[in-house]
A and B are shown apart, each in its own frame.
Chain A
Amino acid sequence: MSVLLSASNVAKHFGGIRALKDVSLTINTGEIYGLIGPNGAGKTTFFNVVTGLYQRDGGDITFDGHALHAASPHEVALAGIARTFQNIRLFKEMSALENVMVGLHTQSRSSAIGAILRTAATRKEEAAIKEKSLSLLAYVGIEGKANIRSASLSYGDQRRLEIARALAMAPRLLALDEPAAGMNAIETAGLRTLIEKIRTDGVTVLLIEHDVKLIMGLCDRVAVLDHGEKIAEDVPGLVQRDPRVIEAYLGVAHE
């Protein structure tokens, strides 16, 4: 099994607060890797560092054999990491279809000149983008909602749309930040099926989640963050029994 993403000693601080303290972990190609931890443990910070939204203050990240230097978000995206956001960041005034079409930005080439002259190549690419976007909407299960303004979609559908937009970038690694937040049991079950399908189709998944049941049932391996430190990393069954994890979650007194 090959390593897709490896982070070693990644550190990030905001002023005096050390949000990440030397976090090291590796994600293997083809697995679903879970990242859990109590509120404020640094999960989203880690996400933002990996995806280039924050610049890290120390440590190295390699992706697919290449070092990710102080990369900006769009360069990380080009490298093959796509993400969703904890508090859903869709292009609100755009339709569902257009959202996915934006996701295909990195997968298309045509220039402004081509668009102005409406060259044959541009027209062909536009048609291909549209078709691909429609098929991605179908893939995540919202094919009938292509022309609806994305902000008007139901909460669950917005989450799905964000996943479709991320998948449009043909990523090697899909990073999902609390995709089940705010979903009911039925929606969560549907989401679980979708994530498994994505993995089966060859995309590695990094998953932050509060829903421990979902994580434990879905992930191949799980890392636990607490106060910016990794306190455990293993298969779900073992992580669940780890005393440090139990302590972090239940707040057992020290000593």
Chain B
Amino acid sequence: MEIFLQQLVNGLTLGSIYALVALGYTMVYGILGLINFAHGEIVMIGALSALAVCTALGNTLPAPLVFMIGLCIATCVCMALGWAVERIAYRPLRNAPRLAPLITAIGVSMVLQQVAMLFWGRSYHAVPALLPSSIHDVLGARIGDVQIVIMLAAAIAMIGLIILVKRTRLGRAMRAVAENPQVAALMGVDADRIIALTFVIGSALAALAGVLVSANYGIAHYQMGFLLGLKAFTAAVLGGIGNLGGAMLGGVLLGIIEAMGAGYIGDLTGGFLGSNYQDVFSFLVLIAVLVFRPSGLMGEKISERA
């Protein structure tokens, strides 16, 4: 039971980070039908640039303030980056064959990784513990302040996003463009601008996710974005890609599945497989979802039109 609770807490923490990243995938997919392969790298840049800011500030200010400044600057960096990536790599290919933007996205991903490598090198960076770090015991499970902050921050960001999309003019325009870009353009919506904004908003969430994930593990690295991005994409597919609520649900579910899997795989296989197979779970979930319910948990069934 303790293991179960503990893994549930770990899963929820991880899951809320996946959900944040998954939102970025799902927003771009919803509006462009494109998998933004480079999204994971934006998360990585967010984590590393926040780290750079925090290291530069050192002990000059109170720790939580340093954390907030780092987060804000990282968010700005990522928003600018998201905008630039869309502008340089994707916009010119709006009408190209389907594979073209995907291949470009792989290229962007490689470039971002190498540029980060140039700035931060190949080594793992320890992330200073700027958040409160006391640990609470709840029914035998250990919950850290960091984990609580992560879940709260993710929840607030997601509520904010939902309000943005459902209640504001910008959100309406986004939904219109996702529905039909041509018609939206006829109605006076500047589709290009909306698409760029979608990338920018997704990147802001990615920056937050990057900062949170590095706070959770206490480590940042120029290759950290790849696997995280892949899992978040899985979460988006699990929830039903293109669907905001689905991305959140999928993220949390995937986090829990992964944590439970890691917690119990040893017992289940009689010690044959260990928790080092943790990463396999998300891929198995991805394959299973795509085979049995390609539209995801909350997605609508889309049949290909003749």
Instruction: Give me the interface of A with B, judged by CB distance under 8 Å.
Output: 14, 44, 47-48, 53-54, 85-86
B187 within 8 A of A: no
Q: Mark B263-306, 1 if CB is under 8 A from A, else 0.
A: 00000000000000000000000000000000000000001001
How many residue pairs, one in A and one in B, have C-beta atoms under 8 Å apart? 9
- When distances are taken between beta carbons in the complex, the residues of chain A under 8 Å from B303 are 14, 54
Q: Which residue of B lies closest to A47 (CB)?
A: B306
Q: Which residue of B lies closest to A85 (CB)?
A: B306
Taking chain B's interface residues, is the majority helix, strand, or loop, or is none over half, making it mixed? Answer: loop
Q: A14-B303, A44-B306, A85-B306 are in contact. List 6 more A-B contacts (CB 8 A).
A: A47-B306, A48-B306, A53-B306, A54-B303, A54-B306, A86-B306
- When distances are taken between beta carbons in the complex, the residues of chain B under 8 Å from A85 are 306
For residue B239, give the distance in angstroms from its CB to the closest CB of chain A: 20
- When distances are taken between beta carbons in the complex, the residues of chain A under 8 Å from B306 are 44, 47-48, 53-54, 85-86
Give 9 A-B contacts (CB < 8 Å), ordered by A residue. Answer: A14-B303, A44-B306, A47-B306, A48-B306, A53-B306, A54-B303, A54-B306, A85-B306, A86-B306
Instruction: Give me the interface of B with A, judged by CB distance under 8 Å.
Output: 303, 306
For residue A14, give the distance in angstroms from its CB to the closest CB of chain B: 8
Complex CA–CA separation, A86 to B306 (angstroms): 9
Complex CA–CA separation, A85 to B306 (angstroms): 8
Q: Which residue of B lies closest to A55 (CB)?
A: B303
Complex CA–CA separation, A174 to B145 (angstroms): 70
Complex CA–CA separation, A44 to B303 (angstroms): 15
For residue A43, give the distance in angstroms from its CB to the closest CB of chain B: 12
Complex CA–CA separation, A54 to B306 (angstroms): 9
For residue B45, give the distance in angstroms from its CB to the closest CB of chain A: 38
Q: Which residue of A lies closest to B301 (CB)?
A: A15
- When distances are taken between beta carbons in the complex, the residues of chain B under 8 Å from A48 are 306
Complex CA–CA separation, A47 to B303 (angstroms): 16
Complex CA–CA separation, A216 to B303 (angstroms): 34
- When distances are taken between beta carbons in the complex, the residues of chain B under 8 Å from A53 are 306
Q: Which residue of B lies closest to A73 (CB)?
A: B306
Complex CA–CA separation, A14 to B303 (angstroms): 10
Complex CA–CA separation, A44 to B306 (angstroms): 9
For residue A36, give the distance in angstroms from its CB to the closest CB of chain B: 19
For residue A51, give the distance in angstroms from its CB to the closest CB of chain B: 9
Q: Which residue of A lies closest to B300 (CB)?
A: A15
Complex CA–CA separation, A61 to B303 (angstroms): 22
Complex CA–CA separation, A14 to B306 (angstroms): 14
Complex CA–CA separation, A51 to B303 (angstroms): 15
For residue A52, give the distance in angstroms from its CB to the closest CB of chain B: 11
Complex CA–CA separation, A201 to B306 (angstroms): 29
User: 8 closest pairs, A vs B, by CB?
Assistant: A53-B306, A48-B306, A85-B306, A44-B306, A54-B303, A54-B306, A86-B306, A14-B303
Complex CA–CA separation, A96 to B303 (angstroms): 29
Complex CA–CA separation, A47 to B305 (angstroms): 13
For residue A198, give the distance in angstroms from its CB to the closest CB of chain B: 22
Complex CA–CA separation, A14 to B304 (angstroms): 12
- When distances are taken between beta carbons in the complex, the residues of chain B under 8 Å from A14 are 303
For residue B211, give the distance in angstroms from its CB to the closest CB of chain A: 41
For residue A141, give the distance in angstroms from its CB to the closest CB of chain B: 26
Complex CA–CA separation, A53 to B306 (angstroms): 8
- When distances are taken between beta carbons in the complex, the residues of chain B under 8 Å from A47 are 306
- When distances are taken between beta carbons in the complex, the residues of chain B under 8 Å from A44 are 306
For residue A67, give the distance in angstroms from its CB to the closest CB of chain B: 23
For residue A81, give the distance in angstroms from its CB to the closest CB of chain B: 14
For residue A123, give the distance in angstroms from its CB to the closest CB of chain B: 34
Complex CA–CA separation, A59 to B306 (angstroms): 21
For residue A84, give the distance in angstroms from its CB to the closest CB of chain B: 11
